[in-house]
Structure 1
């Protein structure tokens, strides 16, 4: 203590802090505050960061190239849907739809920047703590460095799209169109970055992004034109930057342009000689007697758009971009990400109550609920401070015969393994010999790259590449059979577990699926409790595994990894791959003592280890040491304080080992495996010529002869055990499926953030969509609004899928890395369980979405005239539920053969965009080029929209609004009814009641549609085909499931038998 006090006095005397500050200021660049922790100014930071970003882009331009090429492809696909629109009134809707889709494509191309931000955030936070640069400088630098790619992407898409669609052929018009779309990209890029900066998690960012995206799409001005917007919601248009850009582009295309009329009313047989003043064009903005429609009038009456707003809207868009940029920069500087809570252990509520009672008993005082954090005694045992109180009680419970001594001895001889690299065979293991016996720990050591883990994988049969060209693996002198993978335990270096599972649940899951099926559940549970006691884990057996910092600590996780293998009752041996790697000395010692404990109870252990301390080294019985090239340097007993191994090397020319030296480090220096050291001789040759090597070969030959006289399995006399041991999996497929499905459902249930984000997304988007089209009337525009209400209900597709994929990938990684090699359960049970477990949640989401959307829109009102409210409501509910089930199956399909969830999300996004594009809403089959008709017919959304539309709108009357009536001047001497009767008989529609007789005003008001079936027929949605369409859509769900299973098998399930390939190679 005196030395510490003296140190503090010296620091105050020498004024160390001030000296350090002066040295820091001296190294700072000009124009920077002395109080700033940074060495260079803000603008210099931006300069260096931009340079770094461009170097990264130059080093890996694939993403930028892919983005530009993707934009060109999407431009070709999208523009081909609206290919070569003619300058007629028939193109009004499609021209507007093309511009609408183009603006949305440009604006929302930056949506995935939210994900990119969260990928980069840990690095930025780390560099900020190192005072390398400000987060705001990195934010500005990323925007600047991405500008060239965004400009290239924008011109790639818009150049193709503009001229293929046949938009206005004028240089000024084209450049204004491109200018507005560039600003659409920039505005929304800053907007999505702002959302990413204001939130602390990706899940928290994606849900509000989707809601705001939905609002921007609906209130752009095309889905619901301004004249049709509800008064209370119109204000959303004024704060929507995309609406200003869309208005300017529409004005740019339509203003002061004449469009030839495509259809007149009346026309056809009987009206060939009608004077032009007695007929009118059907388009909005038409004038009776005029053969064309002025685009200015169309914009005025259909959208309330004006040319005077064209350049004003550009200024507003720039203002939005500046505001979002400023907010984004400010947030990146001052809003920190999710903070770590420190190391704590989490329990289920039932586990908390149990610990509460235990703490009361331990402290002798009444303690309040652990959840509240209010305690009345400072001696409370907090979960993170749990001690292994019951370690001494373990030996009293060894009557359960968990790891009895077994006579099986696993040994291998002349094991040689090679892989092909660049058309050249490279030997990784070179004639390796050895054995493992029960009750002993064999250490496997070597330099980095010597093949330690490769040997472990080779012995356990887990190699995925390369081939074993020589050698054999034997158990009691017999070749390995199909029971071998289930006779061993393999503890991997990575501690992979489901974070939502408890310790006891993880053990039971492994025991239920890996112990023989004839063993009762009670026996398996008792054995799990035995292992929990054996591993001294009773105090946190009900704890949640969690994640780093909020869950089990490193040592507890390693014990859990070992325990998961032990509860499977490995009959032969236990492999451990560097169990002490990354652990501190105390934790490493604890794990080694645990291995010693297992060996003392009869377990055979083979363990790779990297540069252990002398204390840890003393816990091992034998050593297999490899040098680079997989060549054996030593195999034999270690002896007391490793003296047997030391004597061998000293006897073969090594310098004497100093008494204070660590034998492991000394040995690495002797063979030249330590940094900077060089071997005096090739110790592989030394070993092959040594007496110890000959003893090993003789012992292997003796074991092969004598042990082969024994039966391969001690239980072979029991027919049931022998038959069961030959099974690939311990449990039947149906049991695997049920247990894995239940585990997956529990994981989702114990992740409330995942469930709440889904619920919030579905409820908010459905309500917003429903009330945006609230009580849509039965006018022509009202029918179109209801169609778009159905169309917009599909918008949550991408976000729901992106929320689901990380959970699937997490379980898939656990299965493929640990559970599949251990033969815990089959790949079919895994993929089937993953698909099935999502269905209950999707049914609930679909039901909630139905009630939040169906009734506000008012689709049920259309069924009242025919008294079909219940039947049509039930069918609409079934369709909504089917859509949400389709989302989950599509997610599993996209990720069944792709490694990364981002790649699967991008693929799903592409498929979703194509489905929306070709479903018949934006462009019907009559508008589509003949080449794309197959996309319309193969599109699941085609049948879904047709089914919902026909169910929701059929068999009711249409009542035109005042501005939807077409005003016609009948010939002199004819009433409206006389003049229009023939046309109405052929084309439908009706006359305004007051116009049935002679028109006092001299004009007739005609509504082009009298019943909703006419509208449904125009979009190929027939009421008689509603159940057929429902069945077809569900067939797509079944196809998704079948393809997900097939592609998973094709892309991710290992094919063939490695042993047969080894045999074939040896014969060659």
Structure 2
């Protein structure tokens, strides 16, 4: 058992990855790693060892049991059957007759993956949630601590016996962490497994389970040897661990320049800071190191290595078994995602019904004019069924993280993941294509022959298979939703614009006509149009000696023999094959997205290059100025006391519990909780996982959005009023939610601007922000971007400190902190708690939930509120010097064992007051507390504090305004932050500008100089098609691209709104306004490129209306996308709603089906959608005043009359169209402001 310790950024993760052969291939690595004498390249280290990441990457739709079962199937049973046979042979030789039940169980365990899964679930404490889905941010599942255990169980359920584990106990209470490490200890000692574990805050009991310690700092090993000798080594260096000091805390702090001096015990010599380099040199000179070198100098005898100790095959089971496992999982995931497929099917049915009732055959004649409507119906069907598979992007991107993890672990190759996705998509495409064809074919009035019906279905089916394959390929290459959506939308636009319907091949520039043949939509359209216009009813001979069908096909470049139908089918299948091969190759050879790193400003980079370094919290600025400022808060505040009596909290009983036999309608989470939080007193809120700690904190802070709260909560003796309470309180959430694209200092400035009173000048606010930065020790990363967890930006402990700092700059009187030290290293946790203690010493009231505190952290608190399962208090009182008061209380309860020497009191209380201990002793700790003298004293204390203080100075909380800043100040602050976020988000802004430029260039090149060459109906249709394509695809991309950004910012807005930073409408108005300059620039770029390349008539009037229509359309679609986010709980549902609106905007735009041909029952949709007004303004402003004569279907008319009679566009109502068009952005943005304020999808 080897424990790896060290401060953040010291290289622990890199060492674990290097030993397990999981380092990034781009890194330069020197030195040698060998297993049993074999070098890494001589066997397969990925199957011999396993690196268990600190990131919990799982498929959220699978249950805990299904996750472990799948892992067991892929990893196989290893050599367990051989071991069992060997055990049986030796039993027979020794004449041993085993117990029949034990013998049967052991054989079943070694032969069955299911029993092995049951065993792992039991030892990890996951059996209680085995049937619960893992979940993610969008789906409620297991807790964060349980996910950590699933990550561990996913590996140890297999036969691998060399394990490298990275921070596997984060988020777990100390009792659970001890249980897991104990199980690992048994695994190591019984099976001779090899284990190296990096832990952040191991309790003394957990620490003592390990045999050897590796201590790292600055990428160097400072100690590697027995656990019992580590204190002795540092004593030889002049440092001694004090009494009651946990060894883990000592090992972390003795490396810190700020904390090292307190451990220097050699008074005969003057103290001077000893760096990591010096410790490393001392270790290299020690006998321990020499012994290690001696062992390494002796070559390992490979003949002693058991044949099963190392793996020489990358996969543990046969290819067929791997494929079966992946196929079974994919079937299961399809069942879990059935609502997605039901939604897609419903959407296809609804749009098909709208389409068939719009292109109704009663209004369709067999002539050249109505042939365009048939072609429009075909083109629209191709587009709808192509885009219908867009959801494959999101599904594939969401699974990439778990795929790359499992591929690295050797669970399966890329093809085993890809083929089930490909196969199982086929029946979905088959069914949707059949439904569409069945609903639309005969109602629209295509040729009545039955075999033509099936040929049309075959084209739709093969096209859907091809498009699904394309989207999977794009997702595997782009790997993120932003770039995947942009790439997919651009490809769809290109495929549709060059397929021959919008612009025939003959109208394209001669040097660009080859693009006609590279679009899958071309072959689908050729097959579908040929299937219809080769039918007998279109064979009427025209004056040109060609049939009517041939003339129609020839006008669009679709005039091919009937056999070309089968060529189209073959090409579509060929595209599907190419995309699927590309999908598999991309999964095989592309690396996953990069890992987390801090991004710093140019100013900070310059400082670093001059010799400073940035290394998490390990490198501190110890200037006199910083030291002198600790604990001093420069702004005045009024101390506040919080009391709560008989607080209860209930929620509706979950459906799963009702099914399981729980009869009550309400589930009680908190039960009769009474207590107080006082100024200058640091109160800890503890309890086992699920006891209700965070729930109580939410109730006291007023953060609950669901459930029923009973009881009395008072502030300074007056009933709590939430609107004023938020002005004097701060809440540090367990999830560190911050805007990713602004720096640490900017985050604090934003909070200070909005939450400090307006009477405080800017200079004082800035100085106060700097004070907090120094107090929380964030100076080293103040210019770093916050970033996104797991990708780039601050580390976990830096985010924790930022969360605390954001609340401190509000200068609150009462601060709630939800597990501020969870996920932090011992040293980082000590920094955080030192900062918290400094804040409490200023007279503030602080309540913290805490999970697995070290001895020092636990004893830094003054009082403890301890909850048991069910939300009842079992202790509320002082902790006392050296935890004497709290340990004395529990030791006086009959049956509770005495605390052992050097035992962590927090861990001891969690153990002796656990549910299992209650059952064993036959007592109820809550009842014992309610019958104690301590409870009576607490009731009297709360009663006294619940009365307002006598005297004229006592008054209820009151502020002249609801918010610290006026509305204009709130809008300015929100605009400032959003401006920084937008400017630093290239994945959003650069991608949309790239899309705009690409669309502009494609349109400009395809329609080169055709803007004034209008001599027949086809040339006018071409120009109209260019406008239609631009409006539909630019608008849809604008509306879709904004949604992930708005959804991310909304989560942050919930936290900031709860904190009373600003009014909702100020935030949403800023969100609306910040888009305008970007959309304006997009419109300018598009107009400049397309207007000049297409060659429209250059007059101020025409250019203005062209720009006006494009800009208004971009605004409208953008604000619609924002509105749909406001109406829905997450971006996935918003995207689904978006995919329902866009087809309607397309169909009733007036291009595919002109206004005069829209049936009366659908004409209201024409007036309702914004695209029809946009195209009206665009086409009318360019050609509504042109009276040149052109020939239209053998008749002569003017361009203006054609627009009016055929399309229903007239120059006489352009002002009306412009006013209506401008109303859409106003309506959408107003509704966005309204619904963000009214709807709250955060469930607490």
Pick the TM interval, shorter chain: 0.7 to 0.9
Q: Is structure 2 residue 590 aligned with structure 1 residue 335?
A: yes
Unpaired runs of 5+ residues, structure 2, are: 1-288, 655-663
Partner of 1:804: 1042
- Tell me how far apart the structure 1 counterparts of residues 946 and 1030 of structure 2 sit (CA, whole Å): 70
Q: TM-score, normalised by structure 1?
A: 0.84
Classify 1:258/1:18 alpha carbon distance in 2 versus 1 (closer, same or farther; 3 Å). same
Q: Is structure 2 residue 695 aligned with structure 1 residue 465?
A: no
CA shift for structure 1 position 114: 2.0
CA shift for structure 1 position 258: 3.2
Partner of 2:456: 177
Q: Is structure 2 residue 246 aligned with structure 1 residue 12?
A: no
Partner of 2:605: 352
DSSP-derived class of the 1:860 partner? coil
CA shift for structure 1 position 207: 2.4
Q: Which moved more, 1:617-626 or 1:65-74?
A: 65-74
Q: Pick one of 287, 300, 309 that aligns with 2:543.
A: 287
Conserved? CA contact 1:514–1:823, under 8 Å: yes
Q: Which moved more, 1:754-763 or 1:1039-1048?
A: 1039-1048
Q: TM-score, normalised by structure 2?
A: 0.72
Partner of 1:737: 971
What does 1:545-944 correspond to in 2, within 5 Å? 545-548=786-789, 550-570=792-812, 572-653=813-894, 654-673=896-915, 678-705=920-947, 707-709=949-951, 711-712=953-954, 725-776=959-1010, 777-780=1013-1016, 781-794=1018-1031, 795-816=1033-1054, 818-860=1055-1097, 869-944=1099-1174
- Tell me how far apart the structure 2 counterparts of residues 799 and 418 of structure 1 sit (CA, whole Å): 44
DSSP-derived class of the 2:734 partner? coil
DSSP-derived class of the 2:1156 partner? coil
- Tell me how far apart the structure 1 counterparts of residues 572 and 690 of structure 2 sit (CA, whole Å): 58
CA shift for structure 1 position 517: 1.6
Partner of 1:88: 366
Q: Is structure 2 residue 571 aligned with structure 1 residue 316?
A: yes
Q: Is structure 2 residue 674 aligned with structure 1 residue 433?
A: yes
Q: Which moved more, 1:82-91 or 1:391-400?
A: 391-400
Partner of 2:560: 306
Partner of 1:166: 445
CA shift for structure 1 position 256: 4.7
- Tell me how far apart the structure 2 counterparts of residues 42 and 331 of structure 1 sit (CA, whole Å): 20
Computing the radius of gyration from Cα coordinates, the structure with the larger value is 1
What does 1:422-571 correspond to in 2, within 5 Å? 424-476=665-717, 480=721, 482-548=723-789, 550-570=792-812
CA shift for structure 1 position 314: 2.1
CA shift for structure 1 position 97: 1.0
CA shift for structure 1 position 106: 2.3
Conserved? CA contact 1:477–1:703, under 8 Å: no
- Tell me how far apart the structure 2 counterparts of residues 1030 and 56 of structure 1 sit (CA, whole Å): 48
CA shift for structure 1 position 381: 1.7
Q: Pick one of 332, 342, 352 that aligns with 1:75.
A: 352
Classify 1:679/1:234 alpha carbon distance in 2 versus 1 (closer, same or farther; 3 Å). farther
CA shift for structure 1 position 407: 4.7
Partner of 1:719: none
Conserved? CA contact 1:404–1:601, under 8 Å: no
Classify 1:303/1:399 alpha carbon distance in 2 versus 1 (closer, same or farther; 3 Å). closer
- Tell me how far apart the structure 2 counterparts of residues 1048 and 407 of structure 1 sit (CA, whole Å): 34
- Tell me how far apart the structure 2 counterparts of residues 708 and 455 of structure 1 sit (CA, whole Å): 29
Classify 1:19/1:1007 alpha carbon distance in 2 versus 1 (closer, same or farther; 3 Å). same
Conserved? CA contact 1:394–1:536, under 8 Å: no
Q: Pick one of 1042, 1046, 1062 that aligns with 2:1234.
A: 1046
Conserved? CA contact 1:671–1:678, under 8 Å: no
- Tell me how far apart the structure 1 counterparts of residues 952 and 940 of structure 2 sit (CA, whole Å): 19
Q: Which moved more, 1:327-336 or 1:56-65?
A: 56-65
Partner of 1:55: 332
- Tell me how far apart the structure 2 counterparts of residues 1046 and 579 of structure 1 sit (CA, whole Å): 35
- Deviation track 1:438-469 (CA, whole Å, cap 9, x = no partner) reads 22211111122221111111111222222332
Partner of 1:952: 1182
Classify 1:812/1:10 alpha carbon distance in 2 versus 1 (closer, same or farther; 3 Å). farther
Q: Is structure 2 residue 634 aligned with structure 1 residue 402?
A: yes
DSSP-derived class of the 1:177 partner? helix
How many residues matched? 938
DSSP-derived class of the 1:626 partner? strand
Conserved? CA contact 2:732–2:807, under 8 Å: yes
- Deviation track 1:470-508 (CA, whole Å, cap 9, x = no partner) reads 333231466557422211111111111111111211111
Q: Pick one of 133, 145, 149 that aligns with 2:412.
A: 133
Classify 1:928/1:477 alpha carbon distance in 2 versus 1 (closer, same or farther; 3 Å). closer
DSSP-derived class of the 1:413 partner? strand
Classify 1:139/1:398 alpha carbon distance in 2 versus 1 (closer, same or farther; 3 Å). closer
Conserved? CA contact 1:577–1:608, under 8 Å: yes
Partner of 2:522: 243
What does 1:191-340 correspond to in 2, within 5 Å? 191-259=470-538, 286-287=542-543, 294-307=548-561, 308-340=563-595
Conserved? CA contact 2:852–2:907, under 8 Å: yes
Classify 1:197/1:697 alpha carbon distance in 2 versus 1 (closer, same or farther; 3 Å). closer
CA shift for structure 1 position 790: 0.5
Q: Pick one of 317, 321, 325 that aligns with 1:44.
A: 321
- Tell me how far apart the structure 2 counterparts of residues 704 and 965 of structure 1 sit (CA, whole Å): 87
Unpaired runs of 5+ residues, structure 1, are: 25-34, 262-284, 364-379, 717-721, 862-868, 967-1005, 1059-1068
Conserved? CA contact 1:390–1:538, under 8 Å: no
Classify 1:738/1:11 alpha carbon distance in 2 versus 1 (closer, same or farther; 3 Å). farther
DSSP-derived class of the 2:1051 partner? helix
Q: Which moved more, 1:679-688 or 1:1032-1041?
A: 679-688
- Deviation track 1:819-854 (CA, whole Å, cap 9, x = no partner) reads 111101111112111111111111111111111112
DSSP-derived class of the 1:727 partner? coil
DSSP-derived class of the 1:711 partner? coil
Q: Is structure 2 residue 1213 aligned with structure 1 residue 1025?
A: yes
DSSP-derived class of the 1:247 partner? helix
- Tell me how far apart the structure 1 counterparts of residues 787 and 704 of structure 2 sit (CA, whole Å): 30
Partner of 1:388: 620
- Tell me how far apart the structure 1 counterparts of residues 689 and 1042 of structure 2 sit (CA, whole Å): 38
- Tell me how far apart the structure 2 counterparts of residues 477 and 886 of structure 1 sit (CA, whole Å): 49
CA shift for structure 1 position 573: 1.6
CA RMSD of aligned residues (A): 2.7
DSSP-derived class of the 1:607 partner? strand
- Tell me how far apart the structure 2 counterparts of residues 888 and 138 of structure 1 sit (CA, whole Å): 36
Classify 1:413/1:206 alpha carbon distance in 2 versus 1 (closer, same or farther; 3 Å). closer
- Deviation track 1:12-57 (CA, whole Å, cap 9, x = no partner) reads 22568773466x4xxxxxxxxxx54112333432222111111222
Partner of 2:201: none
Conserved? CA contact 1:936–1:942, under 8 Å: yes
Conserved? CA contact 2:639–2:679, under 8 Å: yes
Conserved? CA contact 2:685–2:866, under 8 Å: yes
DSSP-derived class of the 2:1070 partner? helix
Classify 1:710/1:611 alpha carbon distance in 2 versus 1 (closer, same or farther; 3 Å). farther
Classify 1:479/1:756 alpha carbon distance in 2 versus 1 (closer, same or farther; 3 Å). closer
